[in-house]
Amino acid sequence: MEPLLDRIARGEVLVADGAMGTLLFERGLKPGYSPEEMNLSRPEVPGEVAQLYLEAGAHLVQTNTFGGSPLKLANFQLQDRTEEINRRAVEIVRQAVSGRAYVSGSCGPTGCLLQPYGDTTAGEMLAAFRRQLAAMMAAGPDVICVETMSDLQEATLAIRAAREISADIPVMATMTFDRTPRGFFTMMGIDVPTAVAGLLDAGADIVGSNCGNGLENMIELAREFRRHTDRPLLIQSNAGLPENRDGRLQYSESPEFFAQKAEELLAAGVNIIGGCCGTTPAHIRAIREAVDRWRPA
């Protein structure tokens, strides 16, 4: 396939996939269990998810490695299987997409707080990300996606780990923001211009936001990001905020709503559009159709 950054540079808008956890739970993942362990015990499940997003039109399909750092896997006594879990995840997606989409290696937060707020040192966290990403990248993903970060230092440590392993692989980095009366901030108090500067300085090629917001807020976030950088942008919105209905989390934003609002993301200058919590292959199909129809003014 043509290099990802080359396609963006010549003006093509790409579509990323949607939620992973939502589909894994529908296929038997039990609350309190490790999603990443399914790469080993039930590899056909993340393989099916990858295939569904490919068929929906995604150009980028993520690996089931969001919680694949040894620090996160330690919550399930799986830290000794870090290499196996991350390598296998990439292999599953590569087999599912068969060169028809980019394999995006997902790298989420460790779940630990850095000193002085927590007891994890920067060195320990860097080593954890390096271990996860080395295993993942040995299996040959096309791009790394550091995602759902609220702590800029943690995000930059993950980017640094990726860059220590490869200077060439594209790295995407997204943070999760809350809307406040003073604007958008992460849970750790990071605003958009600070995030943009920090992520790019650490070595990210593509920056943006995912999770935590429905499309209306994400459109505003995209415009805010574009005010502070001309570098490629990635936006992956939730299907609204979750509501507990009869003991189940439900998301209110439909595929039709995503198709309707996708044009505003495109007009804001977003280069890669996908989905996060609550989104399904139907949402991604709607986005892909909107992207294929869109012609800039």
HEC profile for the chain? CCCHHHHHHCCCCEEECCCCHHHHHHCCCCCCCCCCCHHHHCCHHHHHHHHHHHHHCCCEEECCCCCCCHHHHHHHCCHHHHHHHHHHHHHHHHHHHCCCCEEEEEECCCCCCECCCCCECHHHHHHHHHHHHHHHHHCCCCEEEEEEECCHHHHHHHHHHHHHHCCCCCEEEEECCEEECCEEECCCCCEHHHHHHHHHHHCCCEEEEECCCCHHHHHHHHHHHHHHCCCCEEEEECCCCCEEECCEEECCCCHHHHHHHHHHHHHCCCCEEEECCCCCHHHHHHHHHHHHHCCCC
Task: At 233, list the tokens.
Answer: 């942008």
Domain presence at residue 199: yes
Q: Partners of 60 in the beta sheet?
A: 16, 102
pLDDT, position 297: 64
Domain presence at residue 180: yes
Domain presence at residue 224: no
How many domains is the chain partitioned into structurally?
1
pLDDT, position 217: 96
Domain range spanning residue 186?
10-212
Per-residue pLDDT tens digits for 163-175:
999 999 999 999 9
pTM here is 0.96
CATH number at residue 82: 3.20.20.330
Domain presence at residue 191: yes
Distance CA 85, CA 73 (A): 10
Domain presence at residue 219: no
pLDDT, position 1: 87
Domain presence at residue 225: no
Domain presence at residue 86: yes
Domain presence at residue 285: no
Which residues of the chain are under the pLDDT cut of 70? 247, 297
